[in-house]
Structure 1
């Protein structure tokens, strides 16, 4: 009897292998070969699912977006507006090893997206999703703000979150310093 294969599950397993390679070795080391070795698959079997490194990276980034979105949707929204905003934003920032890896995957797309329209499309999805999240957070923090103020505040919050994330990824700030800066920014609302 032929074995039933859950192709979606296999793709998720490969995305997890990409995340492990990035966590251990960095985005530059992701290749069909390194992910095949990490997953215990042959390169040929992996190519059945992803023909190129870019396809593999795109899928891994999409998985990160889904993971973060699912975590945020599952969060309790109790507590003060500042507490909720802080918890939600920290789900997207490199405050621990798992989120550091997710951020490394997401921001690894910045340079790659400049030369590849498919990667740029995922990059726009990532940035659009983050902006929408920031817009929702600002609406929680400033419920009486008009649309113009909400948009401007969300853009500033998005830039601040992304900037702090990049500083942690570059080793310029520690996760604790990032959290302190986030807290200081949110105190201004």
Structure 2
């Protein structure tokens, strides 16, 4: 009897193979041949799931967004707005192996998005999702009664902080421990919530 293959699971497996190749060899090393070899498949088998290398790369980049959204959706978020913000925003920082992999892959794809329109659209979608999330947390933390706070500026500060911490963690992981990343985020949120 022929073995049944879960096509959704196989597509995710192939995207994870892309991630491994990208982390090891860079995005230029993520050819269809290299990804098929990493996944233990023939190139013909890989093409049953993705018609082009571009489709494969877009799916692998999309998987970063999907995983973060799934992780955030499964959180038990505290009622206190300050604690809730930290609980959710910590999920965006590369604090463990899974999130470090997502971060490194996202940064590699973001660089390629400068010259790849399909990846650029996905990069922009990710940017908009994160900025909207930052805006929502800033509004919740400062509240309408704190009129002197410029919500747009504070949103961009929070967004830049998260982005900057992610880039620093990828570029100099030895200098960016999970404790440092969470301390910087926590102090920023304290400042925002009590200003």
The interval holding the TM-score normalised by the smaller chain is 0.7 to 0.9
Please say if 1:123 is aligned against 2:123: yes
Please say if 1:154 is aligned against 2:185: no
Please say if 1:49 is aligned against 2:79: no
Give me the whole-angstrom Cα distance separating, in 1, the residues matched to 2:86 and 2:29: 33
Please identify the structure whose Cα radius of gyration is greater: 2
- 1:132-162 CA-to-partner distances (Å, cap 9, x unmatched) read 111222133222256x833322121111100
1:36 corresponds in structure 2 to 36
Unaligned runs of 5+ in 2: none
Unaligned runs of 5+ in 1: none
User: Normalising to structure 1: TM-score of the pair?
Assistant: 0.87
User: Normalising to structure 2: TM-score of the pair?
Assistant: 0.84
Root-mean-square deviation (Å)? 2.3
State the secondary structure of the residue aligned to 2:94.
coil
Give me the whole-angstrom Cα distance separating, in 2, the residues matched to 1:16 and 1:116: 20
**Contact 2:14-2:39 at 8 Å conserved across structures:** yes
Q: How many residues align?
A: 188
Give me the whole-angstrom Cα distance separating, in 1, the residues matched to 2:180 and 2:47: 41
2:187 corresponds in structure 1 to 184
Moved more, 86-95 or 7-16: 7-16
Give me the whole-angstrom Cα distance separating, in 2, the residues matched to 1:129 and 1:95: 20
Give me the whole-angstrom Cα distance separating, in 1, the residues matched to 2:30 and 2:189: 36
**Contact 1:22-1:30 at 8 Å conserved across structures:** yes
